[in-house]
């Protein structure tokens, strides 16, 4: 789909909830920098003219002034720039903290970077390449990974960008505020065709988005496809509901704390799920043996995302997987997209097989 080029713009359009705050910080930094640049430039010229050496005038003796006035001047020109810099830091940190915490009600969409394209999967099953359709006014969370090298998903109009890393999951989120089409760029040099790794975000009205989503892919939702893959791999033979199998129970597991055999604990998130499938011996769930095989090379990145979504649905009472008695995921758990983060210590023995001890194979019938 080819977009009509827009007229020249000095700054990209402001089309997300983050744009005003980022633009405000940028404007503040430009104004402060411009003010001090002009002030310093003016004083240099002024003092050069005022104190220039006049014909016949000797070299004046150096002034050794340790008066209170000089001390006050030095403190002033140190404290004022420090205060202005701290404002920049606090303002910028608040934006970063806000951008790093996707809301619980955000629509989750998976993005996979591959030289040189963006592959996008919606929960309902729709798939796109180099295009992303989203509804206006809704929170959107992108869970991203790469098939090859480091990429960076950047939408200038939304003022959001985040690295897309191979073997890990990162997130970024935004709320589009204007209907329209906005550029996607890869902001990390990824090879000879890096400049061609572009795409478009199409922000639609709620009605138009529902119509577009209804077209689907004809293959069912990601969770349904993940369930099919889960069964094909024979994962259910060991990951038995209720925790009575040779591998941990996965029902209601996603987002909970997992106690490991070495006495530590991790959070059951996307990265832990992937690691448990690819490297099942890396983290052994307490109370289980090292019996799960690796599925490295047997599951594509897209298949991995489908398995993850299926595991998530097992903890969602409104999930699409039928015939399950499910437990809701704790609301206080935050999923960062990074490698599993240790949480507060609790009695390790208690949560052994029921917590979400996703054994080391949160998704592919593996066992530990």
Task: Please check the confidence at residue 2 and state whether its pLDDT lies above 90.
Answer: no
In which band, very low, low, confident or very high, does the pLDDT at 197 lie, cut at 50, 70 and 90?
Answer: very high
Asked if residue 44 has pLDDT above 70, the reply is: yes
What pLDDT is attached to residue 248?
Answer: 87
Domain locations in the chain as residue ranges: 12-39+70-220, 222-360
For 23-39, how does the pLDDT look when each residue is reduced to its tens digit (9 = 90+)? 999 999 999 999 999 99
pLDDT tens-place string over residues 126-155: 889 999 999 999 999 999 999 999 999 999
What pLDDT is stored for residue 217 in this prediction?
Answer: 64
| Token output for 285 | 């769930």
pTM above 0.75, yes or no: no
222-360 has the same fold as 12-39+70-220: no
pLDDT at 3: 53
- Is-contact 220 313, C-beta < 8 A? no
**pLDDT given for residue 84 in this prediction:** 95
CATH 1.10.760.10 matches 222-360? yes
Cβ–Cβ under 8 Å, residues 155 and 17: no
Q: At 319, is the pLDDT very low, low, confident or very high (cuts 50, 70, 90)? A: very low
More confident site: 62 or 355: 62
Has residue 329 got a pLDDT over 60?
no
Q: Which residues of 209-218 are buried (b: 16+ CB within 10 A; e: fewer)?
A: beebbeeeee
What would the mean pLDDT of 310-321 be, rounded to a whole number?
63
Is the domain defined by 12-39+70-220 classed in CATH 2.60.40.420? yes
């Amino acid at each position: 789909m080819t977009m009509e080029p827009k007229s020249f713009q000095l700054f990209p359009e402001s089309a997300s909830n983050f744009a005003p705050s980022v633009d405000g910080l940028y404007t503040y930094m430009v104004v402060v920098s411009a003010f001090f640049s002009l002030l310093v430039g003016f004083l240099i010229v002024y003092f050069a003219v005022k104190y220039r050496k006049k014909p016949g005038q000797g070299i004046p003796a150096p002034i050794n002034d340790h008066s209170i006035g000089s001390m006050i001047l030095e403190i002033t020109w140190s404290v004022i720039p420090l205060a202005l810099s701290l404002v920049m830091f606090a303002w910028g940190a608040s934006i970063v903290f806000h951008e790093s915490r996707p809301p619980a009600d955000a629509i989750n969409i998976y993005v996979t970077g591959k030289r040189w394209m963006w592959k996008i999967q919606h929960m309902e099953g729709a798939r796109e390449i180099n295009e992303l359709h989203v509804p206006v006014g809704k929170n959107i969370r992108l869970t991203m990974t790469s098939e090859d090298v480091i990429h960076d998903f950047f939408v200038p109009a939304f003022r959001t960008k985040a690295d897309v890393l191979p073997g890990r999951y990162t997130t970024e989120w935004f709320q589009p505020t204007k209907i329209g089409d906005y550029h996607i760029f890869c902001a990390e040099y990824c090879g000879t065709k890096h400049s061609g790794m572009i795409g478009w975000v199409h922000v639609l009205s709620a009605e138009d988005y529902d119509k577009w989503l209804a077209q689907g892919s004809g293959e069912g939702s990601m969770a349904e496809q993940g369930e099919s893959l889960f069964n094909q791999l024979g994962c259910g033979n060991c990951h038995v509901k209720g925790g009575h199998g040779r591998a941990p129970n996965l029902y209601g597991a996603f987002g909970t704390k997992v106690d490991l055999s070495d006495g530590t604990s991790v959070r059951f998130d996307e990265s832990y799920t992937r690691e448990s499938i690819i490297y099942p011996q890396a983290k052994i769930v307490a109370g289980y043996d090292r019996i799960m095989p690796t599925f490295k090379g047997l599951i594509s990145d897209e298949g991995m995302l489908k398995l993850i979504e299926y595991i998530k649905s097992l903890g969602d009472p409104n999930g699409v997987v039928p015939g399950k008695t499910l437990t809701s995921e704790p609301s206080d758990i935050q999923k960062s997209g990074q490698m599993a983060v240790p949480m507060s210590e609790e009695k390790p023995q208690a949560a052994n097989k029921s917590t979400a001890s996703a054994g080391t194979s949160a998704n592919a019938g593996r066992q530990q």
